[in-house]
Chain A
Amino acid sequence: MLNVDLNKLAELLNNQISGANATVHFPEDLKKCDPSLTVEASKIFQVAQFLKSHPETPFNSLHVISGVDYVDWMEVAYVLTHYSLENPRQMILKVKLTDRVNPVLDSIVKVYAAANFQEREVFDMFGIRFNNHPDLRRILCPDDWKGWPLRKDYVAQKDYNGMAVYPDGKMNFEDREFIIRQDMIKKAQEAKAH
């Protein structure tokens, strides 16, 4: 990404933190997609501490934590930046989670205070719990919502506190199949045949 030598960073991490297993993923075309650095899920706290205060390549801010649900495993991406006018930096740090039933990660709120709301959102949308988070509860959905909305196998609940989520009289799912359009296409074809 911006001004970061990911290979060198991976070597540093592997030397400093045992078990980090830092691997770099470069896409085929660097101009089109972004590279990323994957580390072991259990070492995320030490990696974050190292990256914040390392003298050569510090990253003094966390921008966003985004989760992605690949059906067999889940991935959490941390985007770290460094605010410095001479040497701005940015990188994507990824973590893989294989347990879908009860995924757990360490929270990095003590390292970057921005992680507070971001981790709550990942918990709300994917169900990933964070250890040592000061206030882990849902942030966007209501507190008594059931299910993890952004997972690929999510089915919305039928009603919430007496209100129907998808009321029968208002959903026109059938019309979306473009029935009308097909009729018109048929008519045009018949007219052409004559």
Chain B
Amino acid sequence: MQDGVVLTTLDDFLNWGRKNSLWPMTFGLACCAIEMMATGAAKYDLERFGCGAFMATPRRADLMIVAGTVTLKMATRVKTLFEQMAEPKYVISMGSCANKGGPYWQHGYHVLKGVDEVVPVDVYVPGCPPRPEALIEGVMTLQKKIANERLLRNKWVKHA
């Protein structure tokens, strides 16, 4: 099949559906979890982006917001939970502890220096803790990334 109008529109339609209903998994580990809860509360509403239903189980979620420090003891569980999520799945690394180890990078013998050692990350949100507006910007960046995906085109279009 050719890379034409039909496939592009279908792709846009699927991407639109997926990016506007990202269901996050509650994965609050430390202080960033409080800011994530504040983002989900009434003042900075995350529900208007479609992320209203915070699923506790990974089987029904498509977004994992890793909020907080990941320790070595917890890292194997993060990986297990990520593998239990169904495709297509995305990861936002929230806060500087999840990005690169945070303030505990120098002498933290038990701190994993960034969650991208165990799990592939799509968007990094810096801050300690990031403001709710920063997390919302992270979610919007992820939405822009999803809008550029080529789900059907990658499957059906053969490039020369």
Q: Do chains A and B touch in the complex (CB under 8 A)?
A: yes
Task: State the CA gap A149–B72 with chains docked (Å).
Answer: 14
B105 vs chain A, min Cβ distance (A): 7
User: Are A163 and B109 in contact, CB atoms less than 8 angstroms apart?
Assistant: no
A171 vs chain B, min Cβ distance (A): 7
Q: At the interface, yes or no: B19 with Cβ under 8 Å from chain A?
A: no
Closest to B113 in A: A170
User: Are A163 and B118 in contact, CB atoms less than 8 angstroms apart?
Assistant: yes
Q: Kindly identify which residue among B100, B105, B117 contacts A163, using a CB–CB cutoff of 8 Å.
A: B117
User: Are B110 and A163 in contact, CB atoms less than 8 angstroms apart?
Assistant: no
Q: Provide the residues of chain B in CB contact with A161, threshold 8 Å.
A: 72, 76
Q: Can you list 18 A-B pairs with a CB-CB distance of less than 8 A?
A: A141-B73, A142-B72, A142-B73, A160-B72, A161-B72, A163-B72, A163-B112, A163-B117, A164-B113, A165-B109, A166-B113, A167-B113, A170-B100, A170-B101, A170-B113, A170-B114, A171-B105, A176-B106
Q: Provide the residues of chain A in CB contact with B75, threshold 8 Å.
A: 163
Q: Provide the residues of chain B in CB contact with A141, threshold 8 Å.
A: 73, 110
Q: Provide the residues of chain B in CB contact with A170, threshold 8 Å.
A: 100-101, 105, 113-114
Closest to A165 in B: B109
**Residues of chain B from 91 to 126 with CB closer than 8 A to chain A in the complex:** 100-101, 105-106, 109-110, 112-114, 117-118
Q: With A157-B109, A170-B101, A171-B105 given, can you name 17 additional A-B contacts, CB distance below 8 Å?
A: A141-B73, A141-B110, A142-B72, A156-B109, A163-B72, A163-B75, A163-B117, A163-B118, A164-B113, A164-B117, A165-B109, A166-B113, A167-B113, A170-B100, A170-B105, A170-B113, A171-B113
Using a CB–CB cutoff of 8 Å, the interface residues on chain B facing chain A are 72-73, 75-76, 100-101, 105-106, 109-110, 112-114, 117-118
Size of A's binding interface in residues, CB under 8 A:
17
User: Are B101 and A165 in contact, CB atoms less than 8 angstroms apart?
Assistant: no
User: Are A167 and B117 in contact, CB atoms less than 8 angstroms apart?
Assistant: yes
Q: Provide the residues of chain B in CB contact with A171, threshold 8 Å.
A: 105, 113
User: Are A149 and B113 in contact, CB atoms less than 8 angstroms apart?
Assistant: no
Task: State the CA gap A140–B71 with chains docked (Å).
Answer: 11
Task: State the CA gap A164–B72 with chains docked (Å).
Answer: 9
Task: State the CA gap A157–B72 with chains docked (Å).
Answer: 12
Task: State the CA gap A161–B101 with chains docked (Å).
Answer: 18
Q: Provide the residues of chain A in CB contact with B113, threshold 8 Å.
A: 164, 166-167, 170-171
Task: State the CA gap A166–B104 with chains docked (Å).
Answer: 11
Closest to A143 in B: B73
One digit per residue, 1 when the CB lies within 8 angstroms of any chain B CB and 0 when it does not, for chain A 55-92 equals 00000000000000000000000000000000000000
